[in-house]
Amino acid sequence: MAVSSLIIDIANDQAGLDARAILAADQRFTLGPALGTRQAIVLDTPHEVEDISAFSWLSGLPGVRWVTVVRVYLDNLALPPGAAADYL
């Protein structure tokens, strides 16, 4: 399983409204809070390959100006609590 927390910046026009509607209808995405043109979303896929593919699709979606990755959780590569601090 792969779960990505993302912030996207959506165009402030019809393309942005269409992008939000497309994402709301896509079961891979859960829309969180929005602040202006910024929209928090969670991407949940069965495997990291699907996660990468969905991220690429999202990055090219008309109305999405950019995508910021906040956090990615890959179940098959999970680190024990606190281990990530060793990589900073």
- Is residue 20, in this structure, part of any structural domain at all? yes
φ and ψ at residue 14, rounded to 5 degrees: -65, -35
- Is residue 44, in this structure, part of any structural domain at all? yes
Chain segment 4-18, per-residue pLDDT in tens: 899 999 999 999 999
- 86 — pLDDT class (breaks 50, 70, 90): very low
Read off the CATH number of the domain in which 56 is found: 3.30.70.920
Reduced to 3 states (helix: H, G, I; strand: E, B; else coil), residue 77 is helix
Q: Is 8:82 a contact under the CB 8 Å cutoff? A: no
Q: What's the structural domain count of the chain?
A: 1
Chain segment 26-44, per-residue pLDDT in tens: 999 999 999 999 999 999 9
Picking from 17, 24, 30, the residue whose alpha carbon sits closest to that of residue 63 is: 17
Q: Is 14:21 a contact under the CB 8 Å cutoff? A: no
In which region does residue 63 sit, left (phi positive, over 0), alpha (psi from -120 to 50) or beta (all else)?
left
Domain that holds residue 59: 2-77
